[in-house]
Chains A and B, each alone.
Chain A
Amino acid sequence: MKKLVALCALLTMGLALAVAAPQVEVSLAYPVAVDAPITAMLKAWTQDYMARNPGVSVTLVFSGGYPDVKTAVQTAIQGGAKAPTLAVMLATDVYDLVNAKYVDSLDDLVAQAPGGQAFVKDFLPAYMGNSSYNGKLWSLPFQRSAVVLYYNADLFSASGLKPPRSWDELGRDAAALTLDGGKTRWGIEIPTENPYWTFQPLAIGGGRNVYTDDVTVNFNDPRVVDAIQFYMDLSQKYRATPPGVQVAWGSSTQNFAAGKTAMLVHTTGSLAGILKTAKFKVGVMALPGKAPGSLASVTGGGNLYLTAGHSAEERKAAFAFAQFLLEPSRIAEFSRATGYIPNRASAQASEAFKAWLAGVPQAADAVAALASAQSELSTQNLNAVKTVFNKYLQSAFNGSMTPKEAMDAAQKEANLALADYR
């Protein structure tokens, strides 16, 4: 009888404990449209985290791409449901996300977390450009990339060419490496389906980024117009790239790896995939600028946001999980699997990353490209502004407007889209 009473007491205590210490639920929405085994890696890390933190339950929510994650977050919040606690969304979306109150500031969590300030300071300044707004911190760099020039180094050395140092050299090299008017091989391919991002290094290399701040775009700046003219010259003057809007984002990496184009402008996020499939020596560098010796690149990729509408406990647990994901060793592992550039100084200094660099020197070139990188187009009402810019860039590329006409129209419409914020 005594035993039974003791057992009952024990069971009740156990039950009480279970009730007293409920699990804190954290979820992470992640866009899986990346050509790398990221889901397996994230799942393993999540298991590891839950084993170390029994009071926290982490769920991973995988969606297609950045727009899908953003749509999921906004429909949840607007429908009165809980959005995934953490979400990887475009770094450049910060203004719309903050204005619409979809995300929460991280400032209080950074202040509370042990070593919080040092943790934030460790991120590369180039990647913190899109994290602050209205004097508050809203996101942490997660999978960050940059636009670089991939080149077929074997072809270059076989033709006695050196990597280009200016627009002129880029055009001439591309012309020299074009075979059969492009039927066998183009000199260079620049994806133009959603062209603003891959165009930005040309504008930056010409001396002017396409925007200055969240309410100012420089679409009709003569240097931006000049950069469009250089893109046109690549097909019209040098006959080294398909004319108009021809190059698709997805298939262009395969074209490069198969030797159908000698150079390719693409994201560092494709590095791992390209190195795996290309059967030649791949060179990676920032794009040459107009002036000899100058270089240009542009940042890109997704940041980790904390969505709105969660309890203090959930926010704290989410931030702790974010810190865990962004530990230098994990960033290094993530970079090795994908080609995304490590976004923390300590991750770049880690042994794991150095060991990888020793085997893959191109990764060091990708990191070096970051030195000449400026920020990706990020403004208020971003999607309206982006649509306008893409539309008129393509009109210029396709020859239905001159570069100047197109950019004057783009500037006018973008100013209208930004009028409510001035």
Chain B
Amino acid sequence: MGRRFRLLPYLLVAPTLLFVLAFTLFPLARVLVGSLFKHRLNVPRYQVPVFAGLGNFSSLFQDPEFLQVLANTGLYVLILIPLLLACSFLLALLLDGQLRGLAFFRLAVFHPTVLPMVSAATIWLFFFTPGYGLWNQALRLFGYSGPQNWTGNPSLALGALVLVAFWKNVGFLMLFFLAGLQTMDRQVIEAARLDGAGGLRLVLGMVLPLIRRQSLFVTTVAFIGAFQTVDHVFVLTQGGPSETSALLLYYLWQLRFERLDLGRANAVTVIMILALLAFTIANFRVSERHEK
């Protein structure tokens, strides 16, 4: 006797499945297929997609502009992520303690999170303004008269983006570490203390392993977020000067909406999804290995 087919579970999953199909899997399939075609809306002979195999990918990897964008994005992520992880963890440790005015400090660190990125970047644009920008004014108190236009200087523009993204996100990530610290088994820590562990050793040997799950989550969220934020590039630098601050998602927007090059835009999307997927899987693997 075969098992009776039960409809109810399928019905219950159906709405979610439908959404995932319509808004994730279908677009993904379209992007994958689209990346194999030369399709440029502003070139008459490529207005109808022409099959190009992996042509879009090979031409991208031969294009110095794309390679520069990749390098920019790599550098941006490599500076931003460790900085975010270390500082949000430190802040969580500080704000977990018995500080006077704890609520105020928590709010102060967390408040940039609730601002939209466009507003945050606009505030910072004022800080970075040449001449009377707050940032330059503050540095001048220390006798500094150097670079005036932060977003126009090729060695500072990417740093300016990192700074804004750091300020905007550190409080948000701190929150997860803080939640981890507060649900951590305190008895284990107390036992370690009694055994003579303290300071750095306690943090590295006990606290960090105990909140590994939060760390995994925070790392993944921070990494994906670093790839996904683009608003501050629009507001602060538009990728300039000389494309030194063009990030992958901004470049994708340029390809799709400015240069109307759909094939290449699809190819860049595929590359980005693969990079994020590879990182997330690797991150889980590493974390699970520790678990065993």
B43 / chain A contacts, CB cutoff of 8 Å = 99, 381, 420-421
* In the bound complex, CA of A391 to CA of B243 (Å): 6
Are A420 and B129 in contact (CB-based, < 8 A)?
no
Chain B residue numbers with a CB within 8 Å of A420 are 40, 43, 45-46
Q: Measured between alpha carbons, how far is A398 from B243 in the docked complex, in Å? A: 13
Report if A193-B240 is in contact (Cβ < 8 Å); known contacts: A251-B129, A260-B131, A383-B254.
Answer: yes
Which of the residues A245, A247, A251 comes within 8 Å of B154, measured between beta carbons? A245
- CB distance B149 to A100 under 8 Å? no
Q: Are B42 and A100 in touch, CB under 8 angstroms?
A: yes
A179 → chain B closest CB, angstroms: 14
Report B122-144 residues with CB < 8 Å from chain A CB: 129-132
Chain B, interface SS category: loop
Which residues A61-79 have CB closer than 8 A to chain B?
67, 70-71, 74
Residues on A with C-beta less than 8 A from B240 are: 193-194, 245, 390-391, 394
Please count how many residues in chain B sit with their CB below 8 Å of the partner chain's CB atoms. Answer: 31
Which residues of the other chain, B, contact A192 by a CB distance below 8 angstroms?
152, 241
**Residues A248 and B46 in contact, CB atoms below 8 Å apart:** no
| B129 engages A394 (CB within 8 Å) | no
The verdict on A395 contacting chain B, using a C-beta distance below 8 Å, is: yes
With A100-B42, A383-B254 as known contacts, state yes or no: A245 contacts B243, CB within 8 Å. no
Contact, CB under 8 Å: B254 / A387: yes
Contact B130 A251 (CB under 8 A): yes
Q: Which listed residue, B42, B145, B242, touches A381 by the CB 8 Å rule?
A: B42
Complex: chain B residue closest to A393, CB-CB: B242
**Chain A, Cβ-Cβ closest to B253:** A71
Which segment of B70-78, B212-220, B256-264 sits at the interface?
B256-264
Contact in complex: B258, A99 (CB < 8 Å): no
Find chain B residues with CB under 8 A from A260 CB.
Answer: 131
Q: In the assembled complex, how far is the CB of residue B105 from the closest CB belonging to chain A, in whole angstroms? A: 34
Contact A242 B258 (CB under 8 A): no
Report the minimal beta-carbon distance from A25 to chain B, rounded to whole angstroms: 26
Q: Which residues of A contact B47 (CB under 8 A)?
A: 99-101
Is A255 interfacial (CB 8 A cutoff)?
A: yes
* Docked complex Cα distance between A395 and B145 (Å): 22
B153-A244 in contact (CB<8A): yes
Tell whether B44 is near chain A: CB-to-CB under 8 Å: yes
Tell me whether A395 and B242 are in contact in the complex, defined as CB-CB below 8 angstroms, given that A71-B257, A248-B130, A381-B259 are known contacts. Answer: yes
Known: A100-B41, A381-B259. A242 touches B242 (CB 8 A): no
Given A67-B258, A74-B257, A381-B259, are A246 and B149 neighbors across the interface (CB < 8 Å)?
Answer: yes
A-B contact pairs, 25 of them (CB 8 A): A74-B260, A96-B42, A99-B44, A99-B47, A100-B260, A194-B238, A194-B240, A245-B149, A245-B153, A245-B240, A246-B130, A246-B152, A247-B130, A248-B149, A381-B43, A381-B259, A387-B258, A390-B242, A394-B154, A394-B240, A398-B241, A398-B242, A420-B40, A420-B43, A420-B45
